[in-house]
């Protein structure tokens, strides 16, 4: 038998910087949030507005677009975390219809976290990031 031993030299007990760009949807308060890596890599600010689209030709394929010029997009806001990590700020957005539709399509009862594509697709002159349909975490 060969054991892989975890100790303080080869492991960390603190949450590190996220390794993936993710988006999480929460049924309780009908919001979705972006990981800090997604916000940093995509250079998203509170001036940006969000559009979410569902591809009607593909089952459960969604896209998200961020732009300062989306006049009818959803507004982003910041929410400070509670608990042990009070300095962490999450970028969130509220939209009951979007959250309900996505969580219902993926049969998630409370929440789900998905990856965002690395590169956007250009569709109708807008940059759209795919919300990758295999959830990382579904509750």
H helix or E strand, kind and range, residue 41: helix 36-41
- Positive or negative, the CA dihedral 92, 115, 27, 71 is positive
0.85 surpassed by pTM: no
Asked whether the beta carbons of 103 and 131 are under 8 A apart, the reply is: no
Going by their DSSP bridges, the two strands 31-34 and 137-138 should be labelled as unpaired
Output the tens digit of pLDDT for each of the chain's 139 residues: 787 777 767 766 555 555 788 999 999 999 999 988 888 899 998 899 999 999 999 888 999 999 998 889 999 988 766 555 555 557 888 888 999 999 999 999 999 999 999 999 999 899 999 999 776 667 6
pLDDT at 104 (0 to 100): 93
| Gap between the Cα atoms of 105 and 103, Å rounded | 6
């Amino acid at each position: 038998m060969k054991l892989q031993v975890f100790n303080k030299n080869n492991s960390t007990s603190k949450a590190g910087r996220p390794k993936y760009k993710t988006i999480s949807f929460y049924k309780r308060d009908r919001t979705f949030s972006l990981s800090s890596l997604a916000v940093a890599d995509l250079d998203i600010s509170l001036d940006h507005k969000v559009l979410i689209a569902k591809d009607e030709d593909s089952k459960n394929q969604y896209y998200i677009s961020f732009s300062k010029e989306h006049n009818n997009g959803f507004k982003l806001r910041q929410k400070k975390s509670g608990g042990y990590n009070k300095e962490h700020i999450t970028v969130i957005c509220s939209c009951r219809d979007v959250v309900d539709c996505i969580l219902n399509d993926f049969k998630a009862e409370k929440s789900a976290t998905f990856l965002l594509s690395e590169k956007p697709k250009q569709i109708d002159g807008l940059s759209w990031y795919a919300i990758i349909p295999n959830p990382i975490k579904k509750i």
